[in-house]
Chain A
Amino acid sequence: MSLTPEIGGAHVRAVHDEFHGDLLEVSMGPHHPSTHGVFRMIVTLDGETIVKLKPVFGYLHRNHEKLGENTTYLASMPYTDRLDYLNSMSNNWAYALAVEKLAGLAVPERAEYVRVILAELTRLLNHTCLAGFLMQDCGCSGTPLMYAFREREKILDLFESLSGSRMMCNYQRFGGCRVDPPAEWLAGAQRLVDGYSAFLDEFEALLTGNEILMARTQGVGRLDPALAVSAGVAGPMLRATGVGHDLRKVDGYGVYPRFEFRVPVGAHGDTYDRYMIRILEMRESIRILQQALAGLPGGPVMDPKAKLRGFRPKAGEAYGRIEGPKGEIGFYLISDGGPNPYRYRVRPPSFINLTILEDMCLGHTVADAVIILGSVDIVLGEVDR
């Protein structure tokens, strides 16, 4: 079997295997609605059971890293929005962090708080969406997704009124933030955060105790913690297996050490745990947001030394990483002193989390593969870059 059999040819073919008898090879995607974009899985089936799964990426490849090497540091910032287009604020932060390390810029305290607020709002947004999409994959068509999108829209309205764009925020700058959030905006954010627990209660009443959801997800797509660690899996996927690794605690970047919050950890590493981890993380995010909004200091949001035009950091290299909603998102930059990075590399969390898809899917049915993929939480803009 080759990696990409019969491109442009038949999508289903029979494979003869002496041990298993007749196997069926099915190409799921790249236009399958359950694959969350243009992702393709070549699954080999024994009856309905998956015996082999090959992920095929690259349909949305658009030279992100090469573009980053050919444009100025600032011009790469709007491109990072388009990596994981649900979480542009976190992507911006990770990239800004890498460039700030490279150029030795200090970030004012208020900007650090604003970044935490926006990153945690992004986490709420991402996890809400993920729960909605996962339910859609489970066959619960519409209702949870629409409830999730109703709340997501409120967060996007906040982003729009602050940065000018709902999803392509392009908000963080090297050495701070582009706009100082006005008092009305902060009041709006406070209202949203205050009301979010009620929404989560409603959402959980709708889903968490639901017998169909439990039967469908518990014990499905179990991931071994040792395998998860050795494969470099990060974020909620890793924590669902029971490994308490969170960069907000490990690195303590920004002003996170000042906030009191817990890192929820799963026990089984199955799809249900991955769903629950996200719900619990949202509750912790609300705690962080309450503390950050209460403790927001005054002052500027930009380092006065930061230059917009003619930005040339001295030669060197830097790696900036943050705990994005999907896992560790990092940017590795090498500067040769010019206006462009010499090397620009992204560590995309959803791509690395996707590499263990086969290990989770083996032995399950095709319908389970769909929800396992849904619980991995991928965005193809980031996987393919």
Chain B
Amino acid sequence: MLGTGLIKGLAVTAKNLVGSYHDPARYTTVEYPEVKPPLPEAYRNFPFLVSESADDPMGTLRCVACQICEKECPPQCIYIEKSKDKKPDAAGKLQIYPTVFAIDTSVCMSCQICVEVCPFDSIKMDQVYEVATPGRYGDLLLNREQLAKSNAYYHQIRPTEAAEVDGRLAAERKAAEEKAKAAAAAKAALPPKPAAPSPAAKLPDESRRSPQGEGGAAKPPAEGAQP
């Protein structure tokens, strides 16, 4: 019969109209800005720089100004200037740091490639989405002071990912410390004579030495290697 399709369609509309008053699941509108829907942890907007402490963000930036993100950024919105001097990082190692680190967020397309290519976990994606400013150019160009946010903040917005990153960094630091310790031990174990072998090079050295048949210098390294 002509018109049945129309009536069936109108029944669907009526069901949806009435349903939205009774079933909260059918009412899909969110009253933004009074109500803000929760963001998924993976949500990304613009990048920020991770600093170890919130008190001294400039002194504890993880960034070592390697400029990989600057090169890989598809729309080329990152600008970095390297420092001439070096500062100790969280692990106590002397590192170069960025004197200028600017991101033009009017150009940035939030693709996350800078985060993926960063070998130091120093740049991460932020979740602040209310970024409107009155200024068209200057206000959207974020400098290093505006970009720096603490690791605690990173934990707050992305708990799972941040815990994973912290675990990885701690493991790396531990490995580096052990290596440094071993190196220090090896240094301490060095006998006063410059010709003495180091523990690492002990075996080939000894094998090289053994045909000559002298044992004078072999004893101090063996003692030093105990701890």
Q: Which residues of A contact B (CB under 8 A)?
A: 71-72, 74-79, 143, 147, 150, 153, 157, 160-165, 168, 170, 178-179, 202, 205-214, 308-309
Contact = CB atoms under 8 A, between A and B. Distances in A.
Contacts of B74: 71, 75-76, 78-79
Given A71-B74, A179-B42, A211 B13 contact: no
Interface stretch (B105-113, B141-149, B199-207): B105-113
18 contacts: A74-B113, A75-B72, A78-B74, A78-B111, A150-B28, A157-B40, A160-B43, A164-B40, A165-B44, A168-B110, A168-B111, A209-B4, A209-B9, A211-B5, A211-B6, A212-B6, A213-B5, A309-B72
B24 to A, nearest CB: 14
B189 interface: no
Given A164-B125, A209-B4, A308-B116, 7 more contacts: A76-B74, A143-B13, A147-B16, A161-B42, A164-B43, A209-B8, A210-B9
A157 B63 CA distance: 32
B35 interface: no
Given A78-B109, A153-B28, A206-B13, A178 B5 contact: no
The DSSP consensus for interface residues of chain A is helix
A79 B76 CA distance: 13
Nearest to B10: A206
B227 to A, nearest CB: 38
Interface of B: 2-6, 8-9, 11-13, 16, 28, 40-44, 68, 72-74, 109-113, 116-117, 125
Contacts, number: 76
Pick the most buried of A79, A207, A211, A212: most chain B CB atoms within 10 A of its CB: A211
Given A205-B12, A206-B12, A164 B112 contact: yes
Nearest to A153: B28
A160 B28 CA distance: 17
Contact of B3 (A72, A77, A78, A211): A211
A205 B111 CA distance: 40
A96 to B, nearest CB: 14
Contacts of B73: 75
Nearest to B41: A161
A53 to B, nearest CB: 31
Contacts of B5: 208-211, 213-214
A186 to B, nearest CB: 15
Contacts of B110: 165, 168
A101 to B, nearest CB: 22
B42 A160 contact: yes
